[in-house]
């Protein structure tokens, strides 16, 4: 192939593989250590960092390659290694036995920061999801970018403090450390938007999802909750994810 067709081909590859790569900065504003984790969606390669320790007031940056079009972040709490070296966490554990999750997802409940970056028209979308429950307050702030709803989405309330007892996860001291969604707690189609409830017309808010929505109006409270929950930016900004904002 000649040099012209090489560069033409290269340009096409760049155009069709997601235009930009974003830097995700993860900040721990909680007064204790957390263990953030990442999972890439859509069968794409995992980020080089799928789990790490982050002490209070520290930040870490994650670079997403252009091929990273979707994925999520969450944070694990009360983690430790047992005598055999197996690493586990009281909330949002990924079951890998290590600090790195290596592509594994989280055990609910976990507050999720979800991203779809650089879709065909160059738009990023992002949201906070409490669809499977809540473990930590979290916010997402775009750094740069533009658009009417290219703004911070924030679930800054400690939902654990008021979690209904049938949804609460407690630690060994009886403190509430997580709050399951009704879907995660009861696994019923009307809460999980499955079976005959598998559409926006049939799956509606419930008293349980409204508990979460009232606390965090900007976050997803059930699968078809699109009410002011999806945010978007053009221009390929970076993002700051803050736990305990
Ligand atoms: C939701 O309604 C059910 C059934 O009426 C009740 O048992 C439950 O306590 C309610 N939960 C909340 C969070 O309001
Ligand atoms: C933000 O924009 C997206 C995409 O246009 C839209 O689906 C969503 O409803 C908007 N969200 C808000 C909070 O206005």
- Per-residue pLDDT tens for 24-57? 999 999 999 999 999 999 888 999 999 999 999 9
User: Which pLDDT score is estimated for 228?
Assistant: 79
Domain membership of residue 20 (yes or no) is: yes
Kindly give the distance from the C-alpha atom of residue 119 to the centroid of ligand 2, in angstroms, as a whole number: 14
Whether 16 maps to a domain, the answer reads yes
- Is the pLDDT score of 62 beyond 50? yes
pLDDT digits (tens, 9 = 90+) for 105-114: 999 999 999 9
Ligand 2 pocket check for 123: Cβ under 6 Å: no
Contact indicator for 113, 72 with CB cutoff of 8 Å: yes
Task: Please name which ligand lies nearest the alpha carbon of 159.
Answer: 1
| Bridge partners, residue 17, by sequence | none
Mean pLDDT of the chain, nearest integer? 92
Would 236 be classed as within a structural domain? yes
Residue 9 has pLDDT above 50, yes or no: no
Instruction: Classify residue 172: in a domain, yes or no.
Output: yes
The residue whose CA has the least distance to atom 13 of ligand 1 is: 208
Give me the CATH number covering residue 42.
Answer: 2.60.110.10
Between the CA of 61 and the centroid of ligand 2 the distance, in Å, is: 26
200 Cβ inside 6 Å of ligand 1: no
Please tell me the predicted confidence (pLDDT) of residue 6.
Answer: 44
- Domain presence at residue 4: no
The residue with tokens 């969604």 is 181
Residue 2 falls within a domain, yes or no?
Answer: no
Cα separations in angstroms, 211 against 47, 188, 189, 215: 34, 17, 18, 7
Q: Do 241 and 73 contact (CB within 8 A), yes or no?
A: yes
Does residue 109 contact residue 132 with C-beta atoms inside 8 Å? Answer: yes
Question: How many domains is the chain built from?
Answer: 1
pTM for this prediction: 0.90
> Which range of residues forms the domain containing residue 23?
9-243
Residue-level pLDDT at 226:
79
Is 19 a domain residue?
A: yes
Report pLDDT digits (tens) over 162-208: 999 999 999 999 999 999 999 999 999 999 999 999 999 999 999 99
Domain assignment present for residue 3? The answer is no
- What proportion of the chain, given as a percentage, has pLDDT over 90? 84
């Amino acid at each position: 192939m000649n040099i012209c067709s090489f560069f033409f081909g290269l340009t096409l590859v760049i155009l069709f593989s997601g235009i930009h790569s974003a830097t995700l900065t993860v900040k721990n504003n909680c007064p204790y250590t957390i263990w953030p984790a990442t999972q890439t969606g859509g069968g794409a390669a995992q980020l080089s960092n799928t789990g790490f320790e982050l002490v209070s007031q520290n930040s870490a940056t994650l670079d997403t390659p252009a091929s990273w079009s979707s994925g999520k972040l969450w944070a694990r709490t009360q983690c430790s290694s047992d005598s055999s070296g197996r690493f586990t966490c009281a909330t949002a554990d990924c079951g890998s036995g290590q600090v790195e999750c290596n592509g594994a997802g989280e055990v609910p409940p976990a507050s999720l920061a979800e991203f779809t970056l650089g879709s065909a028209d160059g738009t990023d979308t992002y949201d906070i999801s409490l669809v499977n429950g809540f473990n930590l307050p979290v916010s997402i702030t775009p750094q740069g970018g533009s658009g009417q709803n290219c703004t911070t989405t924030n679930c800054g309330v400690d939902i654990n403090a008021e979690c209904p007892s049938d949804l609460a996860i407690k630690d060994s001291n009886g403190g509430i450390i997580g709050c399951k969604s009704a879907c995660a707690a009861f696994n019923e189609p009307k809460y999980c938007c499955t079976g005959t409830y598998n559409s926006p017309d049939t799956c509606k808010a419930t008293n349980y999802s409204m508990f979460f929505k009232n606390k965090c109006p900007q976050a997803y409270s059930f699968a078809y909750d699109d009410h002011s929950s999806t945010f978007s930016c053009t221009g390929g900004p970076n993002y700051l994810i803050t736990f305990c904002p």
